[in-house]
Amino acid sequence: MNVVLPDGSSKEVPQRATVADVAAAIGAGLAKAALAGTVNGEAVDLSAPVSEGDQVSIITAKSPEAYDLLRHSAAHVMAAALVDLYGDVKFGVGPSIENGFYYDVMLEKSLSSEDFEAIEARMAQIVEAGEPFVRKEVTREEALALFADQPFKVELIEELPDDATISTYTIGAFTDLCRGPHLPDTSKIPAFKLQKLAGAYWRGDAEREQLQRLYGTAFFKQKDLDEHLHNLEEAEKRDHRKLGRELGIFMMDELAGVGLPLYPPKGARIIRTMQEWLRKELYRRGYEEVITPHIYKADVWKTSGHYDFYHENMYFFNINEGTDEQPRYSEYGVKPMNCPGHVMLYRNEVHSYRDLPVRFFEFGTVYRHEMSGVVHGLMRARGFTQDDAHVFCRKDQVVDEVVAILDLADMIMSEFGFEYEAEISTRPEKSIGSDEMWEYAEGALKDACAARNLKYEINEGDGAFYGPKIDIKVKDAIGRMWQCSTVQVDFNLPERFDLTYRTAENTEERPYMLHRALFGSIERFLGILIEHYAGALPLWLSPVQAVILPIADRHIDAAFDLEHRLKDVGGRVEVYEQNEPMRVKIAKAQAQKVPYMIVLGDKEVEEGTISVRERFEGDQGSWPIERMEQILRDAVV
């Protein structure tokens, strides 16, 4: 019989052939590298049969699906090791996840990281034994009998549809309920590591049983695992929550509430510097700044659609707008986004086609009701500020406006040394707007990327219900990707708020509306910068650009005179006047990631010079004061 390969060609294989047979028919090298396959788009084991005309591809370690396969198989090996070591273990689910896997388990022993060595040792024995993953299809009754002592598995089985195919996988003496597929055998898991423990409620329900969640990861090469673990260590050192606290950039206080950051002077200075830097560029590029309220009557949110579609993520409250004797309550909502305010500002005036585009921007603080479990420092907060802008333009202006936004995004990412890539998300299943509007908007986004020579991936069907979008994803210093800038076309709000402009023919038309954020959340972008630079922000953004270190008390007056002189050119400078050894002062400045340390002693005071240390390059020798003045002057935003 013949099967169809990914390139469209046919390959003849024997009757009752398996995916492994197809790999062997293609070549001995592929047969050796094969881990699993896909048949008509569905991932299957190598032992899965193929039929006449099936479309077959082979999964190897280089395939996109390979790591899910590897890590899910490693989760089974970990589960088998737990049974061997601890006997009666009740299993929840054990999926592969980004960069690893986990298994939720219930057992009498409370596991700790001290148990990892024994579990990994038993896993290594199972891997070395090369136990095959044996798949078996069973009836519902057989499955219920087989897992009678596994209550969580029984619950899953009972919820399966009547026509579901139920399968198990066995390695050695351990059998698990699983759809698969899996690696051919355990020897294909050459590099793995257990990482951490956490608590987890069964099915994510706080009213259900609490299980222990054991996390791990696996790679096809030891060097890749070592690199991954190194990056994790590096990420821990760079954790913005730790550095933000140590550097005095932001803090959290349970008294204030979860996900509501507070900014001491250094953090406030960084954020205001970022805003002022971008504000100047936006004015230069034809934007106008606006300011809108933090709360609106619920009527606004009903008109915008947020009341119906985003209600659970918002904060609502009632205000008595009557009297104590005759109360009259109105419902208000705290804004989760700035769009309705900008829309109302546009609607406040009559616009001609000659007025467009209208570009409003705002550093607007918004509040969203995030679950406490997903709040993560500045990366995901309940209160944050967006560098938000909305462009109202004619249809023929959309491409040029998107190009200009992408140009602005490139300027920002280049300033911080970020490599980045783009993704265009297209029309989802549930959406508003005509086919013609979607086709034009998606084409405009693609044309804008082409005009900027910006390569992009298509994320099919992942656009917002109100329009397609471009997302910019940046790569940081240790290779992690972060979604930052976004450009979105909106068909919804212009319709809901009845926005129009007067055409050259004196008719009314709806403008196209573009949402755009460049930093995105300023707080989140700051968190990314802290981790990207490991706290050592660029000179122009550093809250303290230089510290002056007088060697002795007799040099303190000269230090303060120098401080005033450097502040006069716009420098952010502090004097360390404490009576401490110079090595302590230098160590303190290094720990605070200060770009320049200026040492003042007898020689410097007498000659009118300064001795300079740079945070990365160390001692720079003697400089004239004018050189430092020029450096700080050039760094003024």
Q: Which of 72, 469, 572, 593 does the annotation list as catalytic? A: 469
Q: Which of 368, 452, 532, 585 does the annotation list as catalytic? A: 368
Show Cβ contacts of residue 367 under 8 Å, excluding neighbours closer than 6 positions: 294, 314, 315, 334, 335, 336, 382, 383
Q: Which of 182, 427, 515, 516 does the annotation list as catalytic? A: 515
Q: How far is CA 600 from the centre of its chain?
A: 45
- Counted residue by residue, the chain has a size of 637
386 is catalytic: yes
Q: Which residue shows structure tokens 């008595």?
A: 320
Q: Which of 238, 266, 382, 390 does the annotation list as catalytic? A: 390
567 is catalytic: no
Alpha carbon distances (Å) from 178 to 94, 129, 135, 137, 554: 9, 22, 9, 10, 76
Q: Which of 45, 388, 476, 490 does the annotation list as catalytic? A: 388
368 is catalytic: yes
Q: Which of 178, 339, 393, 449 does the annotation list as catalytic? A: 339
Contact 317, 365 (CB under 8 A): no
Q: Which two tokens stand for residue 496?
A: 């809901």
Strand pairing class (573-575; 546-550): parallel
Residues forming a β-bridge with 166: 138
Q: How far is CA 17 from the centre of its chain?
A: 44
484 is catalytic: no
Alpha carbon distances (Å) from 546 to 249, 541, 623: 17, 12, 14
Residue ranges in 107-161 assigned as alpha helix (H): 116-129, 140-146, 151-159
Judged by DSSP in three states, 594 sits in: coil
The kind and range of the H/E element at 495 are helix 492-496
Q: Which two tokens stand for residue 536?
A: 């050592």
Distance of alpha carbon 187 from alpha carbon 220, whole angstroms: 11
Listed residue (230, 235, 211, 205) closest to 219, CA to CA: 230
Q: Which of 150, 212, 386, 488 does the annotation list as catalytic? A: 386
469 is catalytic: yes
Annotated catalytic residues are 339, 368, 386, 388, 390, 469, 515
